[in-house]
Amino acid sequence: MIHTICLIAFVLVVVLRARSSWRKPAWWATAFGAVSIATYGIFWATPAVMDSLLRSRNILTLVRDSSAVAAMWFFHNAVATQRHRPERKLPLWALALAVVAFAVPFLLIRHPGPTSADFVLDRLQSFPTWLFSSVYISIMGVLAASVLALLRFEKSIMTRLYMLGISLMLVGSGMEVAYLFVAHFVPGTTGFAHDFYNVAEGPFFGGIFIGVLGVAWVLGVRNFWKYLARWTLRIDARAHDTGYQAQILLKARVNGWSDRQLAMDSAVNIRDRLKVGAQTLSKADDLVFTGVERMLSAQLQEASR
């Protein structure tokens, strides 16, 4: 269930932001995340069906893990960009090396087929299998820890939500490394491996789910301010010449104004005209503007009617 919700959210973000954000690391993080989650099944296309297209040799597991590492890699760079820490961005060649580091052990696994949901657990006595899984999950843990380090000084609600999700992923990664080690090197722990795997999966995917909620929230807030900025500007433009709206949008783009700032400026103009009776609003617009005033009450005093 969590897989499906995460996949739907990721796909929506990828599609809605493709045109404006495909060059940004955050978009690529979401896209690779969607690919990784999709390997768990998409409606009728079960993992077995998808892996059969890859000759039923569990290559889907390698695709899933490679996509997950790429998603975390780009997410790390997105956080570094947002925090104005370009020196902390990770190069693409290092991502390639990271994938190769666990892809090579995977390719050394004897008899990787047929397709199995317990591909790793069924072959944990094999050293290449243990090395493949351990290197992969260790890389995920290191990336999660690095993202937490970038976020540690931020105190916003959204940042704390991200930190909670990533912390759970880090805990899940640590638990998985532990069970991989015990299951491979300690005799007679097959049952333990299966049980502990399910325990470790909870915090790991729970962390991903929380991260998805954060992405959805950010997308929703951005779209809200974008709509509100356009609405207030449209109302403001009624008191100006025909080209006023286009001029303000151009000015906002050149000066790097946020949608929130644009909404604030337009709301101030509307408020001032309402005070002196230079502009009137319809009942519907007046109701919306009253809500805008109350929402922005810390920065915008309500206009007296």
At residue 195, the pLDDT reads 67
At residue 299, the pLDDT reads 58
What is the DSSP secondary-structure string of 129-162? HHHHHHHHHHHHHHHHHHHHHHHTT--SHHHHHH
- Provide the residue count of the chain: 305
In order of 30, 45, 196, the CA distances from 9 in angstroms are 9, 18, 28
CA–CA gap between residue 76 and residue 113 (Å, rounded): 34
CA–CA gap between residue 32 and residue 211 (Å, rounded): 14
Q: Are 46 and 4 spatial neighbours (Cβ–Cβ below 8 Å)?
A: no
Task: Report which of 292, 297, 305 is spatially closest to residue 266, judged by C-alpha positions.
Answer: 292
At residue 171, the pLDDT reads 86
At residue 239, the pLDDT reads 87
Q: Calculate Rg over the CA atoms of the chain.
A: 25
**Structure-token pair, residue 46:** 């079960």
- For residue 249, how far is the Cα from the chain centroid? 29
Query: What phi and psi values does residue 264 have, to the nearest 5 degrees?
Result: -60, -50
At residue 305, the pLDDT reads 44
At residue 2, the pLDDT reads 62
At residue 193, the pLDDT reads 60
CA–CA gap between residue 62 and residue 60 (Å, rounded): 5
CA–CA gap between residue 232 and residue 45 (Å, rounded): 46
Q: Are 88 and 149 spatial neighbours (Cβ–Cβ below 8 Å)?
A: no
Q: Are 16 and 26 spatial neighbours (Cβ–Cβ below 8 Å)?
A: no
At residue 303, the pLDDT reads 42
At residue 182, the pLDDT reads 79
Q: What is the pTM of this model?
A: 0.74
Q: Are 208 and 165 spatial neighbours (Cβ–Cβ below 8 Å)?
A: yes
- Indicate the domain borders of the chain: 2-210, 238-295
3-state DSSP of 90-129: CCHHHHHHHHHHHHHHHHCCCCCCCCCCCHHHHCCCCHHH
What is the DSSP secondary-structure string of 215-255? HHHHHHHHHHHHHHHHHHHHHHHTTS-TTHHHHHHHHHHHH
pLDDT per residue, tens digit, the chain (305 aa), is 566 766 777 777 778 777 777 788 888 888 898 888 888 887 777 777 888 887 778 888 899 999 999 999 998 998 888 778 888 889 999 999 999 999 999 999 888 777 777 777 778 788 998 899 899 999 999 998 998 888 887 777 777 777 888 888 888 888 888 888 877 777 665 566 666 666 767 777 777 777 767 666 766 777 788 889 999 999 999 888 888 888 898 888 888 888 888 888 888 888 888 888 888 888 888 888 888 878 776 555 544 44
At residue 202, the pLDDT reads 73
At residue 241, the pLDDT reads 85
Q: Is cis: bond before 114, omega within 30 of 0?
A: yes
Q: Are 159 and 208 spatial neighbours (Cβ–Cβ below 8 Å)?
A: no
Task: Report which of 54, 28, 60, 27 is spatially closest to residue 41, judged by C-alpha positions.
Answer: 60
